[in-house]
Chains A and B, each alone.
Chain A
C-alpha cells in the first residue's frame, strides 16, 4: 500500500440552491477541486450521495455525473451509507490510490434536498433507520437522536444547556466560513426557545436541509510532492458498522462504530487520539457531537456535555471540534458532508482557513457517520 495525498479541494456555497440542480452543484464543486489541484485527467471517480432517488428521482449517478463533468468513460462508483456516504466515498478513493490501481482519483459528494417538501425530506432521511421496526412506527431521525439524548441525559446528567452550547459553538465557527449555509452566530437562549422537533431536541439542535457538493482530488504522495501546493497525506482510514436499529445497540448512549473506526484509523496512522490537533465530526444533532467526542476518546464516557461547557472543543480550546461550523452551521447536504469535512481539514492543514484557522495544525481527523451510528468512517490527515 502506498501513501495517498489530497492535492485539490473544492466546495460550493451551501444552502437552498433553487437555481441549481444536482448535476450542476456536483460539477461546480468537482471543477473547483480539479482547478485547485491543477490537474485535468482522472482515472476514477467516487461519488457519495445518500438518496438522489428519493430526493430528485435520479439514480445511476455514476453515468450522469461522469457525463456532466465531461469525464466519460472514467470508471465511476456511487457510494451510499446514509449520512456517511461522503466519508465512505473518500475511503473507497483512498483504497483505489493506495492499492496502486489508480493514480489520480476524484472523490465527490453531493445532495440536492430542496426539491421535495419537508415531510418528504424527513421520510427520505428516515430511510437510514430500520424501515420496518423504527420507521414503521413513526420514528424520524430527530426522534432517534432525541431518544439517545434523553438516555444520555438520564445516565450522565448531560443538560439541555450543554446541548445548546454545541450549536452555539458551531455557529461561532461557522460565522467565519463564507461557504456555510448559516454563517451567523446564535445564542443559548435562541436554541432553548426554538421550536421543538422531537423532545428534547429543538430545531436549533438539528442540522438543516441543504443543497451542496464538495470534492477532493487524491493521488499518490510521491506525485503530490512534485506539485506546487502544499499537499496533505491521508495517514489513516477506518470504517466500522453497527446495528441498524437503535434499540439493538448494547449501549444507546455510546457510538461504538465511531470508536472502532477511529481505533483503526489511528492504528494505520501510528498515532494516538492525543496527537490529533482538531476534529471535523458529524454533528447531525447536538447530542451527536457530544457522543462522538466521547467515542473518539477525547473525553471519558458521559463527559461530552461538560467538555463543550468548559470550552474544550471551541476553536481555541484543547480539542477544537468543527472549526468549519460543523453540520449545524455549514449545512448537511447528506452525501457531501463527509467530503466537505476533508475539504476543511485540508484547508486547515495548508493554513488556508482564514478567520477560523486552528493554530499550529499538523494532524486533523474527520468523523462521518450514518444513521444513529450504524456506520462510521474516520480519516486522519497529516500535513506533508
Chain B
C-alpha cells in the first residue's frame, strides 16, 4: 500500500487545479513542469485552469482496476477547457445516453476512491454537466 505522499504532493493540482504558464510562449502546463513542452523554456508563472469546457472524447469503463471495481460502470472523458488545456477525468451526474462529443461540462470536487474501509480517502476533480 503506498504512503499518502504521492497523493498529497499533487494536492494543489487535484484540489485547486494549479497549473504553470510558460513566461516565454504562454503555454499552460497541467500539471506544472520544469520544462515547457512547447518551447523548452524553464520559467513559469502560476496559473489556474478554467473550470469548464467541452468533451472531446469519452468512454464508459466497464472493467476497472481494483481500486475502482465498485464504481463500474463509470464514464471518463477528455475535456478541452475554455482556456485550451485538455484535461482527463470522470464524467458524472449524467446518464450515459446523454454523453456526447461537444457536450459542455464543468468541474466539481469529488471523491476519486478510497483505500478500503480503513485507508486514506482520495479526492480530486470530476466533470458534471454544465
A and B touch in the complex (CB under 8 A): yes
Query: A residues within 8 Å of B by Cβ?
Result: 117-120, 122-123, 126, 132-140, 142-143, 146-148, 150-151, 154, 195-201, 243, 245-248, 252
Task: State in angstroms the CA–CA spacing of A221 and B68 once bound together.
Answer: 51
Contact at A139–B86, with CB atoms within 8 Å? Answer: no
Contact at B124–A136, with CB atoms within 8 Å? Answer: yes
Q: Residue-by-residue, is B59-102 near A (CB-CB < 8 Å gives 1, otherwise 0)?
A: 11111111111010010111000000011111000001000010
Q: Residue-by-residue, is B22-55 near A (CB-CB < 8 Å gives 1, otherwise 0)?
A: 0000000011000001000000000000000000
Query: B residues within 8 Å of A by Cβ?
Result: 6, 10, 14, 30-31, 37, 56-69, 71, 74, 76-78, 86-90, 96, 101, 112-113, 122, 124, 126
Contact at A132–B71, with CB atoms within 8 Å? Answer: no
Contact at A137–B57, with CB atoms within 8 Å? Answer: no
Of B37, B65, B74, B87, the residue contacting A119 (CB under 8 A) is: B65
Most chain A C-beta atoms within 10 Å of own C-beta, residue among B61, B66, B68, B89: B61
The number of A-B residue pairs with CB atoms under 8 Å apart is 103
A147-B57, A246-B78, A252-B78 known; A134+B88 contact, CB < 8 A: yes
Q: Which secondary structure dominates chain A's binding surface?
A: helix
A132-B10, A246-B78, A247-B86 known; A198+B65 contact, CB < 8 A: no
Report the minimum CB–CB distance from B126 to chain A (whole Å): 8
Among all A-B residue pairs, the 3 with the closest Cβ atoms: A146-B59, A151-B57, A123-B65
Report the minimum CB–CB distance from A54 to chain B (whole Å): 12
Q: Which residues of the other chain, B, contact A198 by a CB distance below 8 angstroms?
A: 59-63
Contact at B88–A119, with CB atoms within 8 Å? Answer: no
Contact sample, A vs B, 24 pairs, CB 8 Å cutoff: A118-B63, A119-B65, A119-B69, A132-B10, A133-B30, A133-B88, A134-B88, A137-B76, A137-B90, A138-B61, A138-B65, A139-B61, A139-B76, A139-B88, A140-B61, A140-B65, A142-B61, A142-B63, A148-B57, A150-B58, A199-B96, A245-B88, A247-B88, A252-B57
Contact at B6–A143, with CB atoms within 8 Å? Answer: no
A119-B69, A136-B112, A138-B112 known; A248+B63 contact, CB < 8 A: no
Report the minimum CB–CB distance from B107 to chain A (whole Å): 12
Q: Which residues of the other chain, A, contact B124 by a CB distance below 8 angstroms?
A: 136-137
Report the minimum CB–CB distance from B52 to chain A (whole Å): 16
Most chain A C-beta atoms within 10 Å of own C-beta, residue among B56, B59, B61, B68: B59
Contact at B59–A150, with CB atoms within 8 Å? Answer: yes
